[in-house]
Structure 1
Amino acid sequence: MPTTLAHRQFRSAFCALILLCLSALSSFAAATPTLYAILSGNIVSFKPDAPGTLLTNRPDVGTSDSARAIEIDPTTGHLYAMYQTSATSYGLRRINLSTGYVSDLSLFGTLTTTSAAAGVGVGLAYDPLAHGLRVITAAGDNFLISLATAQPSFYFSPPAYITGDTGFGITPYIEHIAYTNAIPSPSTTTLYGIDTQRNVLVRVGTAGSPYSTQAYTVSTFALGINPTDYGGFVIDPATNRAYAAMTVDGAPRLYEVNLVTGVAIFLGQIGTSATARVEGLAAAPGVNHCLDIDGDGEILAHRDGLMLTRIALGMTGSAVLANAIPTFNPPPRTTWAAIRTHLVDRCGMTITP
């Protein structure tokens, strides 16, 4: 009898501990992202639901050049920026978010952004499949930068609207770009951009295939704003909600962009100055990807928490996945092999196959 009672007490305590852990994990779910931008030369951060309240506001230290685009590597949290060093040259640099100090990484030669019509617009986005930075300019430059070497690793042809598209025959001026599912090792990702001459949202490549150079107008609706070379575009990796920072009527403004209709909805002015110029936009990871077991951008107790608990108890394979992976609208990682690879390669865990 004492042994049976002890076992019951142990089971009760263990179940209580698991429930406590799962409840704690649920508090991490889908937090509002922190957005970063360059505002009149300062690195600022804010929440999309309160863009007028700056959480941080620091000058970029160590350079007199102008940042034209920024992006965050979600695997490291590093903030990268493309700085214009001359009329035809750009440098990739890394910015320390704590100090604002700018570190040189590489210098790119002449980009074809010298014509007046093309302007100097540069789009920069983290490519989650290649673990690199995609660059597209208003004049058609289109290449991938390796984060290992900080140098171009692959060149694409300039984007072009496909036959039958409402933009067919018109040269795209895509200056602001962003990927969906910009998390480590996603099963699929799609590249979007803003054509600042047509004032429309476009997709580069087909859905889930961002390496085609074919451009597609997302819908027949215009953005509803007149975007300029100055600004930025980002898609929150946790929710796939898209945000655009644009200088409109001389003021820095934040918009949410509907990826289905292509319409921009005004959220508010960024900061308090109505004359500040905004450059670039990036989103800090909203969740801990090592706790986001299935990779859907949310940390849920009944899915991620359940699988994490099973892994901690030494379970593997289908025993980890049982009743934790939905069949309707499945997450990016649905197999034990994909989950184990993610936890081993990205999170440094040691797990038996």
Structure 2
Amino acid sequence: MDHQANTQELVGSADLLKKSIGEDLLPLALAVQDVDVTFGKVERRFFGNPRSPLDCEADDIIAFVDAYLPQIAPDAIVLRRDVDPNAVTKLLEFHEVVDHYAPIIANLALASIPAQKGHHKSCSETEIARFKKALYILHLTTILFTRDDQLNPATAARADDIEPAWIHFWSKFAPWELQQTRCAHDLLARHTQNVSNANPMQRRGKPYKKTFSQGVLRAFVINEGLVDLRHLEGLASKHHLRVAIDKFEEFSPNWARLEPWYKKHDKMYLEQTDDSTQLDVSSILAKHPEAESGPSDSWMHTLLQMHVDDAIFQAGSDSLFHCGQHAIEWGYAFWDRERLDAASRGLLPTTAEMQDVSDITVFTEDVDYNADFRLHSGCTCKKGRY
């Protein structure tokens, strides 16, 4: 009887979590719940103090990823572990943090979409769900792959050692979900700046606002994680967030601008032989089927536009994705196809058109070079060209 009652309680917990969090997000939620305990990082209150990477090997991270992100039903994951009431509460509390940030960064991106003119309709449920998933993934990466000062040879070597785990982690997601996570990261950094300046500190009796570099803000977001960031945001009236960013900037003057292995994102998904890379996207689309093609179409465009000399990329949609910095501002990887068509004035190539021209082989070094699309370098394009 006790066993039966316990099983019923677990089933009830699974139903509650699936209803409140969603089946697609539940494996990520459970991973977020247990990652600190698994790797001995129970307390994560940093508030501007740079933290150290996990004391583990790549194989340890790979084993954790395989345990929490398997290809099985979410309810089976719940039933495989003891989800007590306290754990359920913590899962739901973290989901509330995600629910807080998802519409904020979605609206930041929505307001920046080019060529809207009457198309500023609110986000669809599908689009908001993508923002939520990206935030879950982002928070998980803040713990598993702590950003280091890459100018330090020791930490640079550490990044190389962990690289297999990074690649394995992203094999669980579609390449456009990696792009979505990067977009969410930048949008969250922008929001952090906005909150910091919303109630400015006083200097000589006058409001004093400080504009932090995007690199510092992005690194700060990774350092804190969503929970502590939300806590600091709630204390903004007392300037805790501003003080924490100042402290972080002071202690982290030499942090590299980009996360480790930044340029390897496309290569993680593409077939390579020797010095060549096959750009055929057919197997990737088959492995990660989507009912709505907007994000995968955006990814294909950013992958192919610099390699394929075809009229479909020269009709005007190329300007939409020309500048990585501005494309990230409007969250290019999140939107439904209908919204992308409105932004591109109907010039975005179809899925079939891009898939048909992708069957080419290029030099791998060219893939690396053209990954600069995602780099946050100085922008020379004009937003008005959209």
TM range (shorter): under 0.3
Structure with greater strand percent: 1
| TM-score computed with the length of structure 1 as normaliser | 0.23
**TM-score relative to the length of structure 2:** 0.22
Larger helix share, 1 or 2: 2
The structure whose RCO (Cα within 8 Å, separation 6+) is larger is 2
